[in-house]
Amino acid sequence: MSVANQSEIDKSEAPVTSVAPASESKGHTMKEKPPKTVTVEVDEAPVATPKETTPRAVLVAAGRDPAARQLVRVKGKHQEPFPDPDQHIKVHEGERFITTSTGNTPVS
């Protein structure tokens, strides 16, 4: 057997190894981080919600009906209503909200 043939045999018998991408090394895979959760106050009750959310999601988490209630952010004396329950909003830890009725109020 010539030296060239022996070299080819050695290469073919070499173990095949693969290197995992850095994102998969040590058993980890690249995944998105779970959304950061904050606690806000809705009608004086604590509510846990993702930091990036919608008024609808906050209302549901607070046990309120989005079809009948509207979320309103309270900052001091300023109130910021969210008439579109599906608009994307960012909320912050400890932020205060109230809810208002979206329907007719009966007159006694």
Task: Work out the percent of the chain whose per-residue pLDDT is above 70.
Answer: 69
Cα angle, residue 69 at apex, residues 66 and 73 outer, rounded to 5°: 100
How many Cβ atoms are within 10 Å of 42's Cβ, its own excluded? Answer: 22
Cα 39 from Cα 8, distance rounded (Å) = 66
Q: Does domain 37-101 have CATH number 1.10.10.60?
A: no
Q: What pLDDT is stored for residue 35 in this prediction?
A: 77
The CA radius of gyration of the chain, in Å to the nearest whole number, is 29
Cα 62 from Cα 53, distance rounded (Å) = 13
Average of per-residue pLDDT across 52-75: 97
Confidence (pTM): 0.66
Domain segments of the chain as ranges: 37-101
Residues 34 and 46: beta-carbon distance below 8 Å = no
| Helix or strand run (H / E) with residue 42 | strand 37-42
Q: pLDDT (tens digit, 9 = 90+) per residue, 23-61?
A: 444 555 667 777 799 999 999 999 999 999 999 999 999
Q: What pLDDT is stored for residue 23 in this prediction?
A: 47
